[in-house]
Amino acid sequence: MTNETEKPEFWESSFLEKQEMWGFEPAKSALLTKDLFLRENVKQVLIPGIGYGRNAQIFRDNGMEVTGIEISATAIEMARKHYGPGMTIYHGSVCDMPFDNKRYDGIFCYALIHLLDADQRQKLIRDCYAQLAENGCMVFTMITKDAQTYGKGTLISKDRYELHPGVQMYFYDREAVQAEFGDFGLFEITEVNENFPFFIVKCRKKYS
């Protein structure tokens, strides 16, 4: 079940209209995360908000099995067309996680969390951490307050703006990352430019 803030129709119409709107090259942070996952000997990767799969293939090319979650049926069809049937992709909202009872040793969530409201962001972090295998790593990327768009559009709540109809974004600073991820094995915050300034946030699941 989705609610107003999850905007399935926004993403569906975006993919219908703009198709492979980010091209086929993986994002810089996907390449950096692939190196981390290789060092960590990750085998099973979960990608919430997988889109049409451009960030998935780099993990598969390096021997990892990828499972995705995606709200747009059109994006899932595009992923199948370009990358074949070899990936399980659950059609639904990350707000309805978990979709399976697997444990993943790597989770990569690119440019999705900043689209959610505060409760949804916290639930996503908690649900991802719950699906992480012991000693597994989860990596999130998100827009920062250094973006030129920060403060533009309609203020929805603190640091959250509606930039275009249907796109609400929460802009992070390091304190916000610490507040949201601090209890979930946060061990590193770095910065990367992906057309917009992004943080790369890394967490590791501690042995219980």
Ligand X SMILES: C[S@@+](CC[C@H](N)C(=O)[O-])C[C@H]1O[C@@H](n2cnc3c(N)ncnc32)[C@H](O)[C@@H]1O
Helix (H, G, I), strand (E, B) or coil at 196: strand
Q: Is 167 exposed, middle or buried (0-12, 13-18, 19+ CB in 10 A)?
A: middle
Residue 168 binds ligand X (CB under 6 A)? no
According to DSSP, the β-strands at 160-164 and 167-170 are antiparallel
* In the complex, minimum distance from the CB of residue 192 to ligand X, in angstroms, rounded to a whole number: 13
Minimum CB distance to ligand X smaller for 11 or for 83: 11
Q: Is 75 in the site for ligand X (CB under 6 A)?
A: yes
Name the token pair of 36.
Answer: 């981390």
**Binding residue for ligand X, selected from 64, 79, 107, 111, defined by CB under 6 A:** 111
Q: Does 138 bind ligand X (CB under 6 A)?
A: no
Residues 26-55 vs ligand X: string with x where CB under 6 A? Answer: -x---------------------x-x--xx
Q: How far is the CB of 55 from ligand X (least distance, A)?
A: 5
Helix axes 8-18, 73-83, angle to 10 degrees: 40
- Residue for token digits 């768009």? 149
Give kind and range of the element (H or E) at residue 90: strand 88-91
- Residue of the chain from 45, 64, 71, 113 that contacts ligand X (CB under 6 A): 71
Query: Across the strands, what pairs with 203?
Result: 138, 186
112 scored as a contact of ligand X (CB under 6 A): yes
Instruction: Rule CB under 6 A: choose which of 13, 20, 22, 82 binds ligand X.
Output: 22
Q: In what order do the strands lie in the sheet with 104-110?
A: 88-91, 65-70, 44-48, 104-110, 132-143, 196-204, 186-194
Which element (helix H / strand E) includes 178?
Answer: helix 174-181
Least distance to ligand X from the beta carbon of 22, Å? 5
Q: Is residue 93 involved in binding ligand X (CB under 6 A)?
A: yes
Q: Using the minimum distance from each CB to ligand X, give the nearer residue, 64 or 115.
A: 115
Residues in contact with ligand X by the rule CB under 6 A: 6, 11, 22, 27, 49, 51, 54-55, 69-72, 75, 93-95, 110-112, 115
